[in-house]
Amino acid sequence: MSRDDRRAAIAAATVPLLARYGSAVTTRQIAQAADVAEGTLFRAFEDKDELIHAALVAALDPAPLVRAISETADRGSLAETLTALAELIQDSQRATAKIVQVAHQVMGDRGGPPGGPGDDARRRHRDDVHRNHGKQGPDSHRDARMSAVQDIVQAIEASLVPYADELRTEPRVAASVFFFLVHGHASPLLFQDGPLDATQIVDVFLHGVLEAPCQGAGPPHAVGPPHAAVRPPDPHVAAPGPTASLA
């Protein structure tokens, strides 16, 4: 196994440990989880800080969540399938938030004065993020987040395609709205009693907040049966304005 592959494997094994133990995780626990000798950790990484930063990069990688969404079996109904997807997204958010908190804690505890070892650790972390996404420059983090969101939304869309006949809009639009609804409820600052659980989010997503059934016509392209022929525009009727899309 190459050094880069070894580093990646150790970082991946560290992610769930950071989510569980926080900064109290020991190198011995990491070595056991990665199935390597403790000394191997320090041949792959300069110190524990660098290892934690590598784990943070791994935690921000959307690939595991995308894979988990793609591998989620159909639950037999749209509501149950969406609930399973919402739980996956929420679990991923909680784990990532914990790891980011740990990374900031470690940086604060061990960062030291400007120009000291902490600056080296921050620089290594920044370089790892850039290298992981293959980009440099001030927009690299934003571009990486946008790419991650697109990958996740596409995976959700694929899960919604079998239920396209039940939707009032295209699966792509529904997937975007669903993801941002789930993602937006992750912050504990929004609710005194905590965020909505997956079942509540799915209920609001599918049925809205109105007491009476929604009578809206939906987006122009969604009117009529899913496979209805497209009618030519009536020259005597003003064309509707553009429909906004979250994707």
- What residue ranges define each of the domains in the chain, with the CATH number in brackets? 3-211 (1.10.357.10)
Token pair listed for 242: 């553009």
The reported pLDDT for the residue numbered 135 is 46
The answer to whether residue 170 scores a pLDDT higher than 80 is yes
The reported pLDDT for the residue numbered 28 is 95
Q: Which residue has the tokens 């196994």?
A: 1
Token pair listed for 135: 């980009």
For residues 133 and 144, the answer to whether their CB atoms sit within 8 Å is yes
Which amino acid, 230?
A: V
**pTM, whole model, 2 decimals?**
0.67
Cα torsion 28, 34, 38, 43: sign: negative
The reported pLDDT for the residue numbered 67 is 93
In this prediction, residues 20-28 reach a mean pLDDT of 87
Q: Which residue has the tokens 């987006």?
A: 219
Which of the four pLDDT bands, split at 50, 70 and 90, describes residue 207?
Answer: very high
CA 29 to each of CA 5, 17, 55, 134, 237: distance values in angstroms, whole numbers, following the listed order = 20, 8, 14, 31, 69
In this prediction, residues 206-218 reach a mean pLDDT of 74
Choice between 171 and 221, residue whose per-residue pLDDT is larger: 171
The reported pLDDT for the residue numbered 238 is 52
DSSP character for 220?
Answer: G
Residue 22's region, left for phi above 0, alpha for psi from -120 to 50, else beta, is left
The answer to whether residue 9 scores a pLDDT higher than 60 is yes
Rounded CA Rg of the chain: 23
The reported pLDDT for the residue numbered 40 is 94
The reported pLDDT for the residue numbered 167 is 95
Q: 101-135 pLDDT, tens per residue? A: 877 776 665 554 445 545 555 555 555 544 544 44
CB crowding 42-59: b at 16 or more within 10 Å, else e? eebbeebbbbbbbbbbbb
pLDDT-wise least confident of 67-76, 140-149, 215-224: 215-224
